[in-house]
A and B are shown apart, each in its own frame.
Chain A
Amino acid sequence: MTMTAPLAEDTKLGPKAGGLYRHQNFATGLIVGILSAVIGWVISHALLQSSNWGSDMVVTVTLVSWVVGFNIGIGSFNAIFRWSLGHDEDHEDQLYGAGVGQGWKRYFKFCTDHKVVGTQYLVLVMVLFGVGGTLAMMIRTQLLTPNSQFMSPETYNSIVSIHGMIMIIATIIMVSGPFANFIMPIMIGAKDMAFPRLNALSFWLVVSAVPPILGSFLLGGVPAGWTTYAPLAVQAPPAMDAFAITICTFVLSVTVAGINTLVTVLTMRTKGMTPGRLPIFVWGSIIAGGLGLYAMPAFLMAQSAMITDRVVGTSFYVAMQGGTGWLYENTFWIMGHPEVYVILIPPVGALIEIASTFSRKPVFAYKVMVSGVIGIATLAIMVWAHHMFTTGWAPTLADPFMLTTELISIPTGIVFLCMVGTIWRGSIWTRLPMYFLYLFLFNFIVGGITGIYLSDVPVDQYFHGNMFVTAHFHYTLLGGGMIGAAGAVSYWYPKMTGRMLNERIGKTAFWIIAAGIQITYLGQFWEGFQGMPRRVANYAQIFQHANDMSSVGAYILMTGWIVFLYAIISSWRHGVKAPANPWHAKSLEWQTSSPPPLENFLVDPVVTSDPYGYGEDDLAPQRQPQPVSAEAGSTTGGAH
């Protein structure tokens, strides 16, 4: 066992530690980013001698300059500059970079501590959900009446597009950002992520990707839905350039984060943390990270060809010049379907941790479960064309894609088997995280079964492009994914903030959310049965009852999320101080203080079993729950 010197938060560093980082923070990022954007704007305009200050080329150069400038300003590339000048960072610089001695200010800096990055992600996700949720409320308000004039069709269409893409970005990072960064390294007994600077880079890239997509409202709006099918998107206003740049930047972030997750788990596991002892959440994080590495390049390709079609006149997607929109649709969905599982697998992993902890039982069929998730990820790359059954692209491939799509229900069934098997005859302890597991079990069955209808080609020919599809994927991504994320927040909240989440408020929020989801999306299923298309600003009279139901449900749902947000914020400030291990759980993150010290453990932990040995104290020695050395337990206090 190696002893590492404990690092206090208030360790005094030399006056020069950190170098340039000392002068950089979110504000310098903004300033350099804006300056750089203005320079890019003026120069591209001058070079092009264009009369149009808002042409596609000018907008593209300006926004790329913003992204690069912001990241220079905040310090994303400091280390590269230093190395290219032949200097290296010394130990004090690294400590400064990890936020030592900077208090709350480190949350606004390029900070390499994985726990700071995790917290930054958590706040960013909540902000993005706030924006996306507000747009959703505007959509539902427009749809209260058949001929609503609340918004013009133009505004409505762009709000629908941006709601979709903001929510996709937010859901992709909602668990892998906060928890795969904050919790996962601690779960495997690591001191940090493998590449702390890339970790910070992945976060600030997402931050710099947000202004362009929001700016699209000022650039004419994106009229094409979040899928932005060509050729409509090729002809769209410059807002589409902003949209594509946001995606390209986001893709870089997800790629960097995915590599970081994989390398961390491959190389940074503590002594005894064999693959068979990894918590399911860790398995989920690396499988989702790897799947993201497969999916994201297709997204980059789809959107960079979109940019060149729009800016320099290539014709990848322009039918009249030999291109085809089907190329876009294929690359988009080659990203789009795996992405669904990039979103869902991490929350599922978190929920299985929750199932085990609050049933006081080992995870049921651990190996089958891990194989199931690997099976999901493998099949996920072979099903993309089920989104294209009604495009006419490849009618002869309908059968094979129907096959792969329906096959995915087998490994998905394993997820249910694992959850239900873990609960079976357990000692159920109904704390807040467990509530979300139950809600997931309800919603995800609904989302899964409605997905089976859509996998059947003849049925899809009725439901495609119809509100039924909208309801289906909201049941899975919100009812499944976001509910899993809410479970993860309530489970790991004490560890991240050092305080207990107020469960009285949390449970109130839970019931409002649970009801809101059913009313909103059962309403949308009803719209779909009746034959209402997606993405319409106005609709025929016959759809009004279903739409009113959905809109009322949406207001309820939003209220629930606001109450949940209130619980998170108020407990962060006023919550009861959390013990190290409030749930008496066995995985490593609970064997260190809440929140953990810099570098996580005072003593390097040694692992002798998986973290699920509930009820096994009197069984064979190899199954005894001793995830941590006794020293680590006694120094952190409260370990069970």
Chain B
Amino acid sequence: MEQVECIIVGGGLAGLSAAYGLASAGVEVMVLERGDYSGAKNVTGGRLYVKPIRGFYPELWEELPYERPIARELVTMMGDGAHTTIEIASDRFAGAKPQSYTVLRAKLDQWLAEKVTEKGAMVVPNMKVDELLRKDGRVIGIRAGGDEIGAQVVIVAEGVLRLLSSEAGLAAEPQAKHHALGYKEVIELPSGVIEDRWHLNPGEGAAQFFMGACTKGMMGGGFLYTNKESISLGMVVGMEDMRRRRDGTESWQLLDEFKELPQIKPLVAGGVVAEYSAHSVPEGGISQVPKLAGDGYLVAGDTAGLSLNALVTVRGMDFAIASGYFAAEAVKRAKKAGDFTAAGLASYEASLRNSFVLKDLETARAIPGFMENPRLFTHYPVAVSRLLESIYTIDERPQAGLFKKAWRGLRRDFMNVATVKDAWSMRKI
């Protein structure tokens, strides 16, 4: 069997980040990517939080092919014919060192693949890995088509579906209840129109989340990111919620209906849909993180369940890049020690535990459970909008005082056993 030092399965951000670190250190590394090229199949919304990862490969992020630094964050709670949008803006969101950028994955991943190739790694697109080869419990290589290639260590970064890793017994098979379905369209709009519609300074960007009526009360929400000359508009819905629905709604219809809503329609008016895609999103949190390393292998990125949806912040890409970085560090260490067993690779898990990756996931341990509460997606968006609507309503009747209106709304919608229970459960998130 032909041998290389390290095989990486999956040329997404996790795989490429690992490859970059390894190739920079002169480790012989081969990335196998199923798609026509890296990023070809990626559906990410998306926004990359760069602050957490700036310290890894600092030279790279100077050249990051980003779309717009995000200066405005918007959250829209959609009720019954009324909605409330909260805007959060800060000079420190964009500014000299922005904390996050919108990105288009086809561009980002191809760029990173190029950087990886420049460092001397081999990135092979159109190459689906069919099997992880195992011998006496140790991962010894891969099979792709008719060819078997051996490796001292295999980094499995195959994304969310875990087809290979679950078949090889490295991770549990993904379950619907721990996943959501994501749909996304890239809609082209001239940059000036984008800046007008989202009140942006030239070059700056906005991110907008929607919750409530847009998912028909199911867990999830809508998202909108402004790119240079397009917007990424999409929706994420819990797979279990979707499956339980009996009214014949197909999940993809939600996005079509979302675009027709009176709040959304003017935002996308005149836009041309350039791309449509769908993908599953891990939502299980830290409880779904498998064993991160074993004899001859490491798992990284979505395969390792490193993804965090905390309602208004969605993270996965920064975790993918960070886990790739730490995977490369661990493999370098293992190479030095000549030990690619679970013990030799153990520094990987330790680094992740000491970093923001597993710390943030640990902090957010209660979030997946919290999000199972349907009132988040039904009652609250409606109640907030109803309360504010009443305050802003003047009709032919004599008006109650401001305080009285607010009090009435609060008492009706926010002061009962269920909401008190919800408030209590919030202390964990």
* Bound pair (A, B): no
B: residues with CB less than 8 A from A are none
Using a CB–CB cutoff of 8 Å, the interface residues on chain A facing chain B are: none
